[in-house]
Structure 1
């Protein structure tokens, strides 16, 4: 942790919920990016967390933009800075709804055009800012305000959609492993072209667990293999850190699921499907890293 700078670009006393892992992630993202950075933030929890001017918690410029336009706005900013010969980091910081659902068209366009920016999706697996409605990222079986009986369909595989655009760098991260996230942001910003980082950001009110359990919940997601930490640099996949161990001997999925109220009363059939999904994803990524596809 000594490698992480002491400077803070996200001040204390944000408007975040207690135990918010998204604000924790943003703190380390900005530490990695430094002061010469501009954030593009669509409608999401972060647009509330930042607070109201002049009492904002952000110590870098922030461009608040419509739900579906974040990547398009970032494309314009990136091109403008390039035309002026400036090296300012352009970072989109968006939730899963504004990335995998409403904003996916703008993201796809920016990736296809080769925009020089970093797009970060912090994924709390629902529309957190408006009351935890289901999103495309909501996992199978999870209860939300619009799926009170549990979501009947699987989580959208956003990473494979992004992968299909062949960006020079993409990675997954988790709020429970801030040093891993910090290093990935630093690496991403050192590479020219479009970059994408997908962060799992556990949400206490949305996932229905005690606020003090946020880091524990993130670690369980990784240790059970539900969320796998990896980097894909110029097409080459590398499994990172704790996921190397977890993929060989994962913690039982029950340990992750039973601590979340959103999975309360999930049926044995749905739970078995959830377990199969985890196993299949572990096998797929293991084969890819080994070069056996």
Structure 2
């Protein structure tokens, strides 16, 4: 029987942490570890989850966990997996949890190397779209128009001027055995992908959107709703890459207006109608590409 939120392990492996109220990243870590179980070894670089999960004398992990260097999440996972294999250990999972900066910026070299070696590890990026625990600075996964402390919004500058890097497609371009996108707004989808990844040999990558109420400027009880809304309006999509093919795992019947998603967040409230229209057009172009790719895959599968 496939796991879902009703059949998930009741034991907790990440609890008592000091994360901000409504933290999306902590929910992603909690749920993933409940899927993987006690025979998982977690690696976390400098970032929100290491800052809130390792508070001396408390350790907020029920399984083995260790802090890595900021750039070394994937390389430390490589060493852990190789060491356990050398000892003849079986039935374990070496899993990394890194933020957007620790993945798309500082950690991308080590991740690329691990994929190239096809190390048997699972790498999960919890993406809150900025360097949140050091003061809400821009990362390469910060979306266009977002206000951060290093991309301020004023009369002449409209927040971040660069588009969000597509780590999912970058990782897929390596020919990785399995990659997926997820959102804490669709937990059953995330649970299914973690469970699937745990049964695949080689390098696996899951990129999950995890809103940060502090950095995004939303209420603490809106995290899951906003994480669902970003998918429904098409600014994030749920997909898998496996065996050289991209597949959508959720397709909204009709994309909602991204303006509603953007305007509820303080980091986007400076945007003009022209700015929002640019975002809308960019979304439409991306979805045109997604639909073409999905259609081609379906045609190839026909007898």
TM-score range, shorter chain: over 0.9
Counterpart for residue 177 of structure 2: 168
SS in 1 for 2:221: helix
> Which consecutive unaligned segments of at least 5 residues does structure 1 have?
none
> For residues 21 and 176 of structure 2, what CA distance do their matches in structure 1 show?
35
Moved more, 79-88 or 192-201: 79-88
Give the structure 2 partner of residue 266 of structure 1.
271
Alpha-carbon distance between aligned partners in 1 of 2:71 and 2:17, rounded to the nearest angstrom: 25
Q: Secondary structure at the match of 1:107?
A: helix
In structure 1, the residue matched to 2:98 is 94
Output the CA distance in 2 between the equivalents of 1:200 and 1:232. Answer: 17
Contact 1:14 1:49 (C-alpha < 8 Å) held by counterparts: yes
The answer to whether residue 155 in structure 2 is matched with residue 151 in structure 1 is no
Alpha-carbon distance between aligned partners in 2 of 1:232 and 1:284, rounded to the nearest angstrom: 15
CA distance in 2, matches of 1:269, 1:105: 37
**How far apart in 1 are the matches of 2:122 and 2:193?**
11
RMSD: 1.4
Cα distance in 2 between the residues matched to 1:49 and 1:61? 16
Q: Which residue of the other structure, out of 53, 58, 63, is the alignment partner of 1:60?
A: 63
Q: Secondary structure at the match of 2:59?
A: coil
8 A contact 1:71–1:110 mirrored in 2? yes
Q: For 2:245 and 2:231, how far apart are their aligned partners in 1?
A: 21
Structure 2 distance, partners of 1:7, 1:176, is 22
- Give me the whole-angstrom Cα distance separating, in 2, the residues matched to 1:268 and 1:75: 47
More moved, 80-89 vs 91-100: 80-89
Unaligned runs of 5+ residues in structure 2 are: 154-158
Q: Please list, as runs of the form range in 1=range in 2, the aligned pairs for 1:1-293 lying within 5 A after superposition.
A: 1-11=5-15, 13-87=16-90, 88-149=92-153, 150-240=159-249, 243-244=250-251, 246=252, 248-291=253-296
SS at structure 2 position matched to 1:47: helix
Do 1:140 and 1:270's aligned partners in 2 also have CA atoms closer than 8 Å? no
Q: Distance in 1 between matches of 2:203 and 2:177?
A: 7
- Looking at structure 1, the residues matched to 88 and 283 of structure 2 have their Cα atoms a distance apart, in angstroms, of 45
1:185-240 Cα shifts (integer Å, max 9, x gaps): 11001000000000000110100111111111011101001110111122222211
Does structure 2 retain, via aligned residues, the 8 Å contact 1:40–1:91? yes
Q: TM-score, normalised by structure 2?
A: 0.92
